[in-house]
Structure 1
Amino acid sequence: MRHPLKVSDVMTRDVITVTEDTPYKEIVSLLAANHISAVPVVNQYGGIGGIVSETDLVRKEEFQRRRTPWTLRWWRHAARSKAAGLRAAEVMSHPAVTIEQTATIPEAAQLMAARGITRLVVTHDDVLAGIVTRSDLLKAFLEPDDRLLQRVRREVVVHALWDDPFSIQASAKDGVVTLSGEVEQRSTADVVAKLTREVDGVVGVVNQLAWVYDDLASAPDLQPSPELRRRP
């Protein structure tokens, strides 16, 4: 069975946090000293009250000497109020967007894209477990080719192609996996290519698999794939 990478595999576990009463200037100092761009805010009950990012903090500079036209003031009131904040509870974004540590890398990427953010607070049973950023999600693509091949063989060739795993050969260069060899059915070749694309860290797939029997030929809606070859 497949074992996709989880958020817990790439997240930062030692998370610097602040409380709701942490002063604005102290937050700025924490971000600068630790080379980070955001900190979760822990409330009085130990839960996650929100998150303060550089974007939240820079609003103070934006509104410091800026006069906003009266026609725009109604919708900028919330931003102006945040800019006037003196402590974490007044400047944080809340609620924080969270994700369980058991979520997969694609699930985390989809959530970030949907919410237009670059980081997620990671939880385990509603307790802070870490933080994961967009750059953390790219760590899967840093896997060396030999280790990537081990994962492909284990998760696809051995576990998925249980009937004859030795009929397929795989190689990898710069994260691109090339599949070669011969399988009995064209549908099997399709499935192997699809599963290989889903393996964490795979950049692309070159499918050179041949098949003996085209079991998809009777399906009128399916067109032959240029990637697949019949056995000569």
Structure 2
Amino acid sequence: MNAAEPTRSAWLDAMYRYLGAESYRTKDLAGNAPAAAPAARVDLGTVAAVMTPDPISVRLTTPYKEVASLLRDNDISAVPVLNAFREPVGVASEADLIAKHTYRPGQRKPFRFARKSYARWRKARARCAKDLMTSPVQTIDANVSLREAAEKLIDGNARRLFVTSDGLLTGVLARRDLLRVFVTSDEDLLTAVNERIARHRPWTNATEVCATVSLGVVTLLGSVPRRSDARRLGELASSVPGVVAVRNRLGHDVDDVRASATTST
């Protein structure tokens, strides 16, 4: 274990204690919550760091009324539907459930090529999750970066992604979960920035660069030998999860960036 490891662990534990997991609290129908599992040691830049682990789920055969009760009692808007191997095969949402209100006795079955009408007819007649769910379900691997997760949520206009590891359900990532790193305290961010810089600056020592953090904005002060070194330190600070912006005020002795550009032209 290196010298930075205890600090990193304390930072991770503090983040989980402070933030909690409010959006997808796991309870059974009786309202009982399972014992909290210890926080895993994960890369804070990945989905695994901010997801809600062990989300509520249902089986293909879970009755309609039980699905409705789970959503209402746990204040969530959707649950993943799992097959016998705990693989997510669909999602049952509030939108799927309210199709029941459109049920009309004796209504003729729409043609399958009329996808929307057929899907609504099927959900309106549903008795269990397999007929109620929307499929396929949008998933993401637990080790994917937060940047990729954000792009997938935005590009797919999704409210949530169900997280898998080796194909099995392990968590859920809601839009609000991606905001968790941005409420990390300035003190914890400063610790993380200093640790990341310390691991990647063999060209200088700790006294030549000073970092400060205010409202998530990192300011780098001091001097380094080359302009490329200053640029690299700024990139490293920016890559710390939770950093809002970086003001790079580092000076340099040699402008190797301009010299390289002049040579290449």
Q: How does the TM-score come out when normalised to structure 2?
A: 0.73
How far 1:215 moved relative to its partner? 1.0
Contact 2:140-2:161 within 8 A present in 1 as well:
yes
The letter for the 1-side match of 2:154 is A
Change over 3 Å in CA distance of 1:74–1:161 after alignment to 2: same
Change over 3 Å in CA distance of 1:74–1:96 after alignment to 2: closer
Query: Which one is further off, 83-92 or 30-39?
Result: 83-92
The letter for the 1-side match of 2:48 is S
Query: Which one is further off, 200-209 or 213-222?
Result: 213-222
Q: Are residue 138 (structure 1) and residue 179 (structure 2) matched? A: yes
Residue in structure 2 matched with residue 37 of structure 1 by the alignment: 77
How far 1:176 moved relative to its partner? 0.5
Contact 2:103-2:121 within 8 A present in 1 as well:
no
Query: Which one is further off, 176-185 or 6-15?
Result: 6-15
Q: Are residue 158 (structure 1) and residue 162 (structure 2) matched? A: no
CA RMSD of the aligned region, Å?
2.5
- Structure 2 CA distance, aligned partners of 1:221 and 1:53? 59
Change over 3 Å in CA distance of 1:35–1:217 after alignment to 2: same
How far 1:91 moved relative to its partner? 2.0
Query: Which one is further off, 116-125 or 4-13?
Result: 4-13
How far 1:30 moved relative to its partner? 0.6
The letter for the 2-side match of 1:48 is P
Q: Are residue 215 (structure 1) and residue 256 (structure 2) matched? A: yes
- Give SS of 2:188's match: helix
- Structure 1 CA distance, aligned partners of 2:114 and 2:80? 29
Residue in structure 1 matched with residue 241 of structure 2 by the alignment: 200
How far 1:217 moved relative to its partner? 1.9
The letter for the 1-side match of 2:151 is Q
- Give SS of 2:256's match: coil
Aligned residues between the structures: 214
- Structure 2 CA distance, aligned partners of 1:51 and 1:100? 17
Q: Are residue 100 (structure 1) and residue 118 (structure 2) matched? A: no
How far 1:181 moved relative to its partner? 0.5
- Structure 1 CA distance, aligned partners of 2:86 and 2:190? 43
- Give SS of 1:117's match: coil
How far 1:148 moved relative to its partner? 0.3
Contact 1:10-1:139 within 8 A present in 2 as well:
yes
Residue in structure 1 matched with residue 40 of structure 2 by the alignment: none
1:49-95 superposed Cα distances (whole Å, 9 cap, x missing partner): 2111223223444x458xxxxxxx93532442344233211121212
Query: Which one is further off, 105-114 or 134-143?
Result: 105-114
How far 1:36 moved relative to its partner? 1.2
Q: Are residue 185 (structure 1) and residue 226 (structure 2) matched? A: yes
- Give SS of 1:161's match: coil
Residue in structure 1 matched with residue 150 of structure 2 by the alignment: 109
- Give SS of 1:40's match: strand
Residue in structure 2 matched with residue 127 of structure 1 by the alignment: 168
Contact 1:179-1:208 within 8 A present in 2 as well:
yes
Q: Note the 1:3-152 alignment, pairs <5 A.
A: 3-61=43-101, 63=102, 74=114, 76-84=116-124, 85-152=126-193
- Structure 2 CA distance, aligned partners of 1:38 and 1:210? 52
**Unpaired runs of at least 5, structure 2:** 1-42, 105-112
Residue in structure 2 matched with residue 226 of structure 1 by the alignment: none
- Give SS of 2:144's match: coil
- Give SS of 2:257's match: coil
Query: Which one is further off, 87-96 or 199-208?
Result: 87-96
Identity of aligned residues (%): 37
